Amino acid sequence: MLLAILVILIGFALLAWSANRFINGAAAFARHLGISPLIVGMTIVGFGTSAPELVISAIAALDENTNLAIGNAIGSNIANIGLVLGFTAIIAPMTIASSILKREYPLMLAAMALVYVVLLDGMLGLHEGMILFACMSAVTAWIVYTGIQEGRNVPGTSDDALEAEFESKLALDDIMSIVESVFWLLAGGILLVISSRMLVWGATAIASSLGISDLIIGLTIIAIGTSLPEIAASITSVLKNENDIAIGNVLGSNIFNSLGVIGLPAIIHPATVSTEVLYRDLPVMIGMAILLYILLYNHKGKPALSRTSGYSLLSLYIAYIVMLEFQAT
């Protein structure tokens, strides 16, 4: 038990560090290839923060532990809204200026609704996984197309706040050489796999020792741990007054979690879905997403998240975790 806890703590630290190096390496490499900052930011940076969830879910599915993978994806979506955005808004209230994010939010809600529809029959099989992955490919293509359209402006003169923020944030060419970017892209990816394997082993060991289901472990310990990159990215962004990037990371991550992180385990190892997922966790996930929209757009003018909204989101997330722990015992 103590060994499992130690492995999880080391795994979390290594996971957060390696995910950051992986994302920076990938973003720098893409910039060296001449890809626009907006596309790099919305794909590599936005979806890259979900790399830990994807790797952990794949490893869990390979171990025939698909419920842990499902819990990881759904729990991370809930944590991204309640914990990440709630905590970030408490630290620094956010005003959102980008029009791109207004188009990305409906995509996130649609992805979550699709997951619910796909899982209604209580099965997560090969066909369901292929549907989710196909939608993931379509969303990625749409985001790239949008980025190309928006990126036709002269660099540095864009009217969209998100592109301007990425233009400033991703000026990595003078910081990391192409050799360094390739090294950290590969090294970060390898360390992601190693740290994810450590987390899956430790979480499974704790679940077995305490008699707690793998689903609960995935919804709580693993979900919070794999949300560390989003927490770090969002807090860093708001402290630099890059509010659009902060919320863009969460929206992009939730889309990727819903379609990719749930779709991949289904392809690797199909499984049945517990009723708790259908009647407890998925409704909470969708409800939190709807609440986020209400909180964002209940202001006059530009959408914003106030400190009060942050406390509300964080309180609801804590209440959800307490409910899970109560049910588990």
Q: What is the pLDDT of residue 156?
A: 47
Q: pLDDT: is 326 or 166 the higher one? A: 326
Q: pLDDT: is 174 or 140 the higher one? A: 140
Q: pLDDT: is 150 or 28 the higher one? A: 28
User: Residue 234: what residue type?
Assistant: S
Give the DSSP letter of residue 153. S
Structure tokens at 293: 């929209």
Q: pLDDT: is 117 or 227 the higher one? A: 117
Q: What is the pLDDT of residue 317?
A: 96
Confidence band of 132 (pLDDT split at 50, 70, 90): very high
Put residue 35 in one of left, alpha, beta given phi > 0 → left and psi -120 to 50 → alpha: beta
Average the pLDDT over 54-69 and give the result: 86
Beta strands in the chain (DSSP E): 94-95, 123-124, 271-272, 304-305
pLDDT value at 193 more than 50:
yes
Average the pLDDT over 184-207 and give the result: 82
Q: What is the pLDDT of residue 116?
A: 94
Residue indicated by tokens 């588990």:
328
Phi, psi of 271 (to 5 degrees): -155, 165
Average the pLDDT over 91-117 and give the result: 85
Structure tokens at 84: 């990440």
pLDDT value at 127 more than 70:
yes
Share of the chain above pLDDT 90, in %: 24
Q: What is the pLDDT of residue 314?
A: 95
Q: Which residues of 152-176 are buried (b: 16+ CB within 10 A; e: fewer)?
A: ebeeeebebbbbbbbbebbebeeeb
Q: Report the C-alpha gap between 226 and 19 in whole angstroms.
A: 10
Q: Report the C-alpha gap between 83 and 243 in whole angstroms.
A: 16
Q: What is the pLDDT of residue 9?
A: 86
Burial class (CB in 10 A: 0-12, 13-18, 19+), 312: middle
Structure tokens at 143: 């985001």
Confidence band of 301 (pLDDT split at 50, 70, 90): low
Given a contact cutoff of 8 angstroms between Cβ atoms, the answer to whether 85 and 310 are in contact is: yes
Q: What is the pLDDT of residue 316?
A: 96
Confidence band of 84 (pLDDT split at 50, 70, 90): very high
- CATH class of residue range 2-328: mainly alpha
Confidence band of 60 (pLDDT split at 50, 70, 90): confident
pLDDT value at 27 more than 50:
yes
